[in-house]
């Protein structure tokens, strides 16, 4: 039996789809199921049962001996939320409880960390445990993820296998519900449909031109492939980057979106909102050597191929994965 927390969300629901493709249906879904909009992500998925997030730790305490693997992907992910207590409750302390009961029942565990832990990249983007203590995230969300990473690598009592995945800029199907926190591709698609153009943030950093800000964009199908790989192979315990390993500009991203939609490229620029301007990452790029050294050999979608698949097979058809 496999447990997925955050199962009705973006990455969680895509992981269910991928496991179903491998014939795996004994899956326990954990989430806050009071939000109907996320229910669309679970249509036609095959699973065993649903458990409310608030009831899961008690359930795990009692039923953990029946669980073979846990993907702990559920979290508060709003980078514009600045109430630290919310992140302490949902991202830090809740994750500690999941870890402790996974350890008690000897359940392998993969959990979601984030590239937000790297802050402005002062210490690079290498998933080296020696760097984690030095990182300075830019918001409480990043702090909560880094706080748990720091806690995890210092535990003497651990699950039999564990991995923390630092997700970079993940995009792809099943993110329709994410509103402001959705990928730039989804925002671009909706803007282009509505206005015929896309507005990007103007650069406020002299090192980068408008639209030349660079991020490591990784397709969600690669993300769930790697999750499956970790479940099957269980390499060395630790923190792993999960990006494409290649930074690309927002201009590249939007150009690929226009092309996939068969539309003419039309971009204008607006000022970055002041509430996030001093916390804006101008460059991220995952160092992927550690995961590749662990044996992952399936490669990654290029930005162009990932955007094409997302737009043509999901967005234009209003379909889910």
Active site (catalytic) residues: 141, 178
In whole angstroms, how far apart are CA 215 and each of 48, 49, 78, 285? Answer: 37, 37, 18, 6
Q: Residue 81 — left, alpha, or beta (φ > 0 → left; ψ -120 to 50 → alpha)?
A: beta
- What is the sign of the dihedral through the CA atoms of 46, 47, 53 and 54? positive
Structure tokens at 249: 């500009």
- Separation CA 4–CA 174 (nearest Å): 16
Nearest to 102 by CA among 224, 233, 2: 2
CA 44 to chain centre: 22
């Amino acid at each position: 039996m496999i447990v997925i927390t955050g199962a009705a969300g973006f990455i969680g629901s895509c992981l269910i789809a991928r496991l179903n493709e491998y014939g795996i249906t004994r899956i326990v879904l954990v989430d806050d199921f009071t939000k109907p909009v996320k229910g669309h992500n679970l249509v036609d998925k095959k699973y065993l049962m649903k458990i409310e997030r608030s009831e899961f730790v008690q359930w795990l305490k009692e039923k953990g001996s029946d669980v073979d693997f846990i993907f702990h992907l559920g979290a508060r992910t709003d980078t514009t939320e600045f109430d630290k207590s919310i992140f302490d409750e949902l991202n830090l302390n809740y994750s500690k409880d999941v870890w402790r009961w996974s350890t008690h029942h000897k359940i392998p565990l993969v959990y979601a960390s984030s590239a937000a832990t790297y802050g402005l990249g002062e210490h690079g983007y290498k998933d080296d445990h020696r760097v984690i203590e030095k990182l300075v995230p830019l918001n409480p969300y990043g702090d909560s993820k880094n706080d748990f990473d720091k806690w995890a690598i210092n535990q003497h009592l651990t699950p039999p296998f564990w991995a923390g995945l630092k997700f970079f800029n993940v995009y792809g199907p099943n993110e329709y519900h994410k509103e402001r926190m959705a990928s730039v591709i989804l925002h671009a698609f909706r803007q282009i449909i509505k206005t015929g153009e896309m507005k990007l943030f103007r650069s406020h950093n002299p090192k980068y031109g408008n639209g030349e800000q660079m991020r490591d964009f990784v397709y969600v199908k690669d993300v769930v492939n790697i999750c499956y790989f970790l479940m099957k192979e269980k390499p060395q315990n630790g923190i792993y980057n999960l990006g494409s390993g290649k930074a690309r500009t927002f201009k590249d991203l939007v150009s690929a979106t226009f092309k996939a939609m068969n539309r003419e490229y039309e971009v204008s620029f607006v000022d970055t909102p002041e509430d996030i301007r001093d916390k804006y990452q101008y460059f991220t790029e995952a160092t992927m050597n550690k995961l590749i050294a662990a044996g992952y050999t399936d490669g990654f979608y290029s930005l162009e191929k990932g955007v094409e698949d997302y737009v043509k097979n999901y967005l234009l058809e209003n379909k889910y994965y």
